[in-house]
Structure 1
Amino acid sequence: MLSKKLSPCLVLFAVLLACSAYADGIIIPVRPISKRIPPPLSIKYHHVDVTINNQVARTEVDQVFKNNFGSELEGIYIFPIPPGAAINDFSMYVGGEKIDARLLDKESALRVYEDIVRRQKDPALLEYAGRDMFKARVYPIPAYGEKRVGLVYTELIRKDTNLCSYRYSLNTEKFSADPLNDVRVKVTITSRVPILSIYSPTHQIQIERSGPTKAVVTYIEKNVKPDKDFVIYYRLSKEQMGVSLLSYKEWRGDGYFLLLVSPNDWSIDQKVLPKDVVFVFDRSGSMSGKKIEQARSSLAFCLSSLNEKDRFALITFNDVVKEFSTTLLRASRKNVENAKEFVKGLSASGGTDIHGALVSGLDMLESGSRPKMLLFLTDGLPTVGITDVNEIVRRVAERNSKGARAFTFGVGYDVNTRLLDRLANESKGSSEYVRPNEDIEVKVSSLYSKIMNPVLTDIEIHYGSAGVSDVYPRKIPDLFKGSQLVLTGRYRNSGNARIVLEGKMEGKTKRFSYTLAFERKDKENDFIPLLWASRRIGHLIEEIKAHGKSQELVEEIVRLSKRFGILTEYTSFLVDKDVTVALPSLREEAERKLEAADEAVGGWAVNQSVNAKRMKKSAQVPANTYYDDRGVERKFENVVQVGNRAFFNQNGKWVETTGDSKMPVVKVKRFSKAYFQLLRNDPSVGSYLSLGQNVQFNIGNQQIQIADSGKEEFSQSELTELFD
């Protein structure tokens, strides 16, 4: 596994700089420019190009550092490298001459880190403890000039039962004073065996495929502070369905798992299932202007994207339901063109008969094995016919005897989120919201592109002897070409288990069987508990919104938020509370927050639904952000996750949230021999120490508190007892 944080960036270390910003590739000035403490240098760009050929990865790093000061600098460039990597090339030139560099093993590197930390009185570098180091002297760095650095290394990537992983550390959140101007990571994968699923638990990635054995994965952002390592997993297999399992388990308690299911897109081209689709779109008066224009465009896109063997129906409604046809039509070129002409003539006026439109759409569907979908778009509340939300949901469920998946779109803030969410959730569909200033066509076409080619429906997964529980999503959605299912859950029993994937394909029940390992102890994939907790919190919030709160559900949300540091708009108060406070009192405050936010209509209601859905569907590690009532994204600043441990910043001290008031506290003097003994006995402690000068964390059944005064040296027996 690659080291946790490896992203090369430039930062200026100044003597006695208490709150500096560092990055993974570092230039440390040998002496200060002046007595004034200088701010960090800026980063012009940071590009990473990776080529993976079978199991060999070649990583090229290209970065430009900028000296914003009026005098030249002398410094040392440090790059912590992944275990087992070989440096192929390092290019930095001064006066036309290439700079020499040295590779230090982890022991030599640790001495360098300790020396810098002692001098600077800043522990940020300690997160790199336990890693080899690449080191070079840099002089001069011109005043107001730039220095370009190029680095190339190769490594053998990890492969476990055809599941490969690549990691590049891109964590600069706590190490950069300013956002990076330009960040790009591009990974080109070539393999002799077909590449099935490609998944990143850390970043939103773009995937381009030019064949079964090649893929290009790209992550690009501008003006950003990356705060996570860049990680991808991909499965190599010739199977029709690829299933991969990742697990995380400590010695005690249940483990956590992540299951990836993806079709072999290159073997199922002839097996995309013909589907029946009913489009139900609002044309009431409130849809006038730009809304109706965008709705027409999105409908035209969906119609043009129908497969030749699909069937479709089109319904528009205001206070009157209008049908393009009385039955499902084959998606012939003529029928599609006629439907698009019908769409061009849509105009907005009148009220909103949501119940009548939905029932008319469902009544058009026919029995049979074809996948059935209903795409429903509205910007308002039910004002005509049946208007009670619970009654509409009940009647729609009764009429949906053929098992159509409802995909709902709420446009603007004058929609009933409980209605749209329940219609989608209870049919294994999904709900989307188009907020003010967002484009209807973009939202609708984006979703439809993902669901237009169903491959496997009515999916069930059996986990054999693993003792699996609390799997999310609770209702497994259908699987589409070009997509994958990401499921998270808990397991009780370690060892190999027979996993059976079952679903409908081409009208017949198909079963796929796999023997996969639920690990007895595996602490590497520490993102899995966070992903599971995020999904569980999102699910519980939706349950409360749909069916009302209960003490048990609220207390579980608070417990998970506190344990994993995954905050919501209802648990943001936790960072200001003593971490040892009992759950019942915290639950009461969360209940008050939930009651105050108990809305079904309006900006706050829509954004609460968006927040819950982001958590419930999260495929990446939670970012600890939420949208407020105006749709502005807010970030929780006083919480950080190190692995699957959570820390809250309370009165300037980072405190691990799983601390217990009954646990003994050992005070350790900052930067003392005892401080570095902790690091040498377990280099992973460096990730906790690097949070700041005042940190409290758990080792075994004791709490370690880093403070101005305290223990200055451990005996060997004390260390043995502490780390046993």
Structure 2
Amino acid sequence: MSVLAFPLARTRPRAARLAPLFLGFLALFAIPGATRAATPPPGSGELVLRGPDDAAPVEAPRLMTDVTVDVSGPTARAVVTQAFRNTTKEWVEGTYVYPLPEDAAVDSMKLVIGERIVVADIRERAQAKRDYEAAKSEGKTAALTEQERPNVFTNAVANIGPGETVLVRIEYQQTVRHTGDRYSLRVPLVVAPRYNPAPPIVNLVGEGPATGGADPVPDRDRITPPVLDPATHAPVNPVTVNVSLKAGFDLGALRSDTHKVNIEEAGPQSRTISLADGPVPADSDFELVWKPAPSVTPTVGLFREHVGDRDYVLAALTPPEGKAGPRLPRDVTFVIDNSGSMGGTSIRQAKAGLLAALDRLGPNDRFNVIRFDHTMDSVFPASVPADQANLDRAKAYVAALEANGGTEMLAPLQAALKDTNPEDTKSIRQVVFLTDGAIGNEAQIFSAIAAGRGRSRLFMVGIGSAPNGHLMQHAAELGRGSYTNISTIDQVAERTRELFSKLESPVVTDLTATFSEGGADVTPGLLPDLYRGEPLVLSAKLPQATGTLTLSGRIGGTPWSQTLDLSSAPEGAGISKAWARAKIGDAETARITGRMTAESADAAILELALGHKLMTRLTSLVAIDATPRRPAGARLSSAELPLNLPAGWDFEKVFGTAGERAAPIAPPPVQRRAELRRAAAPAVALPQTATDFEIRLWLGLTLLGLGLLVARSRRFA
């Protein structure tokens, strides 16, 4: 699928103007047995599905989602309730792709049918799929939840009766994000369309036909759900969000920059938060940010939980502010994504963030700027001094960028990580990568980072209303950097200032975590460098939570350490699942980077997942009602429910025009764009994913006109 982009052509309707729409949705969910005509009229904007044997189309089931989150100190427990409403007279199966946080430990699913509640079992993925398909064919109502990525899941619900509403309740645990004095909770609400690079075609001139390489996205069909064009369809999948916040310290500022919220105070340390506009379109991730009261300095976060015969601890350790030491020279490579998915508000946010970063470079720094879509180039052949002439040239280059084309991220990442002076110890080498991460080949990117990071540190900056948090967070971890998210243009100044101020501060290096008692199983195994105000979050499984934990390192040339008494840690909930989820992530990383074989990594993942009852790539949750409900001989129609386009995206510039989407497009040859040949830096040839649609259109119109002239001349001959 080609990805094209220009600035947003349509403005997003405000939530207040959508209130009548969602009242209608709520009415449909609330009225039992509500039905619609079996065949919606053409052009009505209704979603339709087809049954077997090309039967007449019927309206697809509706979906509504409610998210309730309880935040308690460093952890959050969320319940996601998805209501599938069948408004037809048919029996249907609905399939829906949806997001969850990239660090979510999904451990529970319930299927609610009227007054019956069916609790799901965790099973190996293949077995869960077989059990679901058998139940579906037997006419039993069933639900299957599968993980496609750590932040992308699929729900399938079979045998929803005519006029019936079926609820699927999914629960997960996650940790609260903490940077400096800011705590945040992010609830993903939409899966953004992914750019999936095609398998490479190797064609050596004069040496035979082209051959195909390994597909970088072998499951592309499972992460490419249908997306509605907002020009022809009103938003679907309304969502409500409610948060109960118990911070564990006196609260100061509390806000959401992504959604209007109502905030009710329930004490100095507690708040209740809800969406001010009621149900909103599932087209933009929800983020809540809070800070401690100005006079409060939160203590080090240390919590423990006893499960079975083991103790689990979670520690969030923040190095002291200290006095800023001498600023070391930096060699910074900035990479900016100007592909089609970055069109509209995203490219403006990315450019503003990059321009702010350029302004902070010092006279002893060196830098370069790389931009990419389905091609790439750079401002300079290599890093140059950050003098005024070079900065002016780079700023003019950035200001002129427009979003267009596909998202070929691998080559620019490898170019940015390439270090021409790996023995340099007098400067810090950093890569700052600005993107929405809307790609499907995450594993390929992770492998490249692990292989090529060297002494570089990778800092990911997520842009837009629905960034790929899994890619961003894990890339930063592998690159021993950090992840900063910019959801709105209003956040650019604050968050870029925080990020680049942090990058200029002395780092805590050579970090080690030591438990006084033996037998600790700690994650992460590779501790990152820490920047001033950046906490380290680690978890461990212990035979018993006694003794101490000591974190040691160096700030500049000065030794630094902090020791915590484990026995004084307060009780926390969900610590064991957070540890298990992190260990599963460690095993996935080891598999991707070759530190573990696929077989041994899968065995470790299965043991953790089944032992802690967690969803993974290899395990699924399946709930099956015991009683068959669909009458024998009654047909079952199936539908893949569509998603909204993320807010700020332009449908036609992402997917192409209707005519272009309708016609099959052959993979174009690998070629170099003219501007790549003229670039000062060595060009990198990448697949051209945009098409020559305009040329084809004019050619087609010309041939059509000639055909009409010929037909007219024959008619009157």
Q: Identify the TM-score tier after normalising by the shorter chain.
A: 0.3 to 0.5
The structure number with the bigger radius of gyration is 1
TM-score, normalised to structure 1's length? 0.39
TM-score, normalised to structure 2's length? 0.39
